[in-house]
Amino acid sequence: MTVDDVLYPPLEPYRSGRLAVDAVHTLYWEACGNPAGIPVIFLHGGPGAGISPKSRRFFNPAHYHIILFDQRGSGQSTPLGETEANTTPLLIEDIERLRALMGIEQWLVFGGSWGSTLSLAYAQAHPERCLGLVLRGIWLVSDEEIDWWLYGLRQFFPREWEAFAGHVNPEERQDLLGAYRRRMASPDRAVAVAAAQAWSRYEGSCLELIPQASTVDAFGSEAVALGVGRLEAHYFAHKAFLRPQQLLEDVPRIAHLPGFIVHGRYDVICPVRYAHALHDAWPGSVLQVVPDAGHSSYEVGIAKRLVAACDAYAASGNFSAMR
Tell me, yes or no, whether 128 and 274 share the same domain.
yes
Number of domains into which the chain is organized: 2
DSSP 57: G
Tell me, yes or no, whether 158 and 189 share the same domain.
yes
Please state the length of the chain. 323
Confidence of residue 265 (pLDDT cuts 50, 70, 90): very high
Last residue of a domain, one of 239, 255, 288: 239
- 267 noted as active-site residue: yes
Tell me, yes or no, whether 156 and 254 share the same domain.
no
Q: In the chain, what is the straight-line distance between the N-terminal and C-terminal CA atoms, in Å?
A: 24
Q: Which pairs from 10-14 meet CB under 8 Å and 24+ separation? A: 10/53, 10/56, 10/57, 11/56, 11/57, 11/61, 13/56
Q: DSSP 3-state assignment of 74?
A: coil
What is the model's pLDDT at position 179? 98
Digit-coded pLDDT (tens) for 99-112: 999 999 999 999 99
Q: Interior CA angle at 320 toward 107 and 69, to 5°?
A: 25
CB 46 within 8 A of CB 232: yes
What is the model's pLDDT at position 68? 98
- 5 noted as active-site residue: no
Percent of the chain past pLDDT 90, that is, above it, reads 99
Tell me, yes or no, whether 228 and 155 share the same domain.
yes
Digit-coded pLDDT (tens) for 32-56: 999 999 999 999 999 999 999 999 9
Q: How far is 119 from 105, CA to CA, in rounded Å?
A: 17
Tell me, yes or no, whether 216 and 292 share the same domain.
no
Tell me, yes or no, whether 133 and 165 share the same domain.
no
Among candidate residues 65, 295, 296, 297, the one labeled active-site is 295
CB 33 within 8 A of CB 66: yes
Confidence of residue 23 (pLDDT cuts 50, 70, 90): very high
Q: How far is 118 from 243, CA to CA, in rounded Å?
A: 14
Tell me, yes or no, whether 135 and 37 share the same domain.
yes
Among candidate residues 74, 113, 116, 200, the one labeled active-site is 113
Average pLDDT, the chain: 97
Tell me, yes or no, whether 149 and 209 share the same domain.
yes
Among candidate residues 94, 250, 267, 311, the one labeled active-site is 267
Q: How far is 269 from 156, CA to CA, in rounded Å?
A: 10
Tell me, yes or no, whether 119 and 252 share the same domain.
yes
Tell me, yes or no, whether 114 and 164 share the same domain.
no
Digit-coded pLDDT (tens) for 231-244: 999 999 999 999 99
- 175 noted as active-site residue: no
Q: Which residues contact 198 (CB under 8 A, 6 or more apart)?
A: 163, 164, 167, 180, 229
Tell me, yes or no, whether 228 and 262 share the same domain.
no
What is the model's pLDDT at position 32? 98
Last residue of a domain, one of 239, 261, 279: 239
**Domain CATH number, residue 38:** 3.40.50.1820
Tell me, yes or no, whether 234 and 273 share the same domain.
no
Last residue of a domain, one of 239, 266, 301: 239
Q: How far is 90 from 96, CA to CA, in rounded Å?
A: 10
Which range marks the domain in which residue 170 is found? 143-239
